[in-house]
Amino acid sequence: MDPQEIEALFNQCTRFLGGHGRRLPQQALAELAEWTPADLPSDRYGSGELISGFEEQVAALLGKEAAVFMPSGTMCQQIALRLWADRRGSRHVAFHPTCHLEIHEQQAYQLLHGLHGILVGARERLLTLDDLQRIAEPLGVLLLELPQREIGSQLPPWEDLVAICDWARSHHVPLHMDGARLWECKPFYAREYAEIAGLFDSVYVSFYKGLGGITGAILAGPHDLIAEARIWQRRHGGNLFQLYPYVLSARKGLEERLPCMQAYHDKAVEIAQVLKKFPEITFMPDPPHTNMLHIFLRGDKARLEAALVETMRATGVWLFYPLRPCQVPGCHMTELSTGDATLELNTAEIAELFRQVLQRAEA
């Protein structure tokens, strides 16, 4: 199917297997306007209580001295790595081969900031302490992603994470967390966000993924680092005249969806148990560490995608499309992140939807 047909099918669906469902701009903005106090003043070039109050709230939640709101995580992380590398006097920045900076940002860390990426570990698994101990170059900063999206949102056991952070500190290497999905980590670690973030010198968090905001991110860390980051935000063109739609949406998502992270995770675990009943399906991790899992369907890709389309048209439930190549022989992959919309589907119905897809593909 071409992209227009896929978009038309998506818009025809009324329920959704993943995420928070479809929100058209008018609906999203109307809900945000209703939620916003009528007398709330706006921000201006990053100043004002609207934005500073939210920065202070998130800094406290993460146990950090200060925080700065930026339009994107890409901006947050490039700035954080640049600042730590400058302070250490080393252009070497270490991260996993599937790090967002490496595979989704067109080598911006290198071209814009002159940093040299050192890929640590193997693409298909978590970075380990043994991997770090093999690094010969002096590092400017070590970036760890919690959880690691490209390998099914996996998380290292707490003891392993602490050991890695201890190694970095013993080598005087600053630690930065790619916490794009940090909010989803709490059920796995059963620890407060400040304790998880406390292992790191700086942390970036996103507001449009699990929290469902319009866009926006925060970089949190020491006062002096954040003060310097504000200068680099201006240099990046990120100090916009007004950011209030993004800040308000982020605040709303944090208030409404942060308490739901345990429910999202529990639903992912339930779905994983359902998928185990199908010999044509595998997934990772088992059990899910967060509200995300990677699902692998065995069979012919064209037949599976045709079955998906037919099932979605028949039921009005958006499942996923298209399927992607993966490392499991004979299988094709999709990524599922549970959210508000997922909670509206009972487990038996989800099992039936997968059964229909596989049955149609076989037929």
Average pLDDT estimate for 22-48: 95
d(CA 179, CA 182): 4
State the angle between helix axes of 73-88 and 223-235 in degrees (0 to 180), rounded to the nearest 10: 120
Cis peptide bond prior to 285, omega within 30° of 0:
yes
Average pLDDT estimate for 258-279: 97
pTM of the model: 0.96
Q: Identify the pLDDT of residue 159.
A: 98
Average pLDDT estimate for 260-284: 97
pLDDT band at residue 43, thresholds of 50, 70 and 90?
Answer: very high
Average pLDDT estimate for 215-220: 98
CA 259 to chain centre: 17
* All structural domains of the chain with their residue ranges: 3-22+260-362, 25-258
Average pLDDT estimate for 111-121: 98
Asked whether the beta carbons of 214 and 28 are under 8 A apart, the reply is yes
Average pLDDT estimate for 231-251: 97
The answer, yes or no, to whether residue 256 has pLDDT greater than 90, is yes
For residue 326, give the amino acid letter.
C
Q: pLDDT averaged over the chain?
A: 97
From residue 54, alpha-carbon distances to 61, 215, 218, 221, 263 in Å are 11, 15, 10, 15, 25
- Three-state DSSP state, 154: strand
pLDDT tens-digit map of 63-83: 999 999 999 999 999 999 999
pLDDT band at residue 328, thresholds of 50, 70 and 90?
Answer: confident
Average pLDDT estimate for 140-152: 98
* Multiple choice CATH, 25-258, 1.10.10.10, 3.40.50.300, 3.40.640.10, 3.50.50.60: 3.40.640.10
Using DSSP bridges, classify how beta strands 66-70 and 217-221 pair: parallel, antiparallel or unpaired. antiparallel
The answer, yes or no, to whether residue 131 has pLDDT greater than 90, is yes
d(CA 32, CA 124): 40
d(CA 224, CA 205): 19
The answer, yes or no, to whether residue 327 has pLDDT greater than 90, is no
- Domain 3-22+260-362, CATH: 3.90.1150.10
The answer, yes or no, to whether residue 1 has pLDDT greater than 90, is no
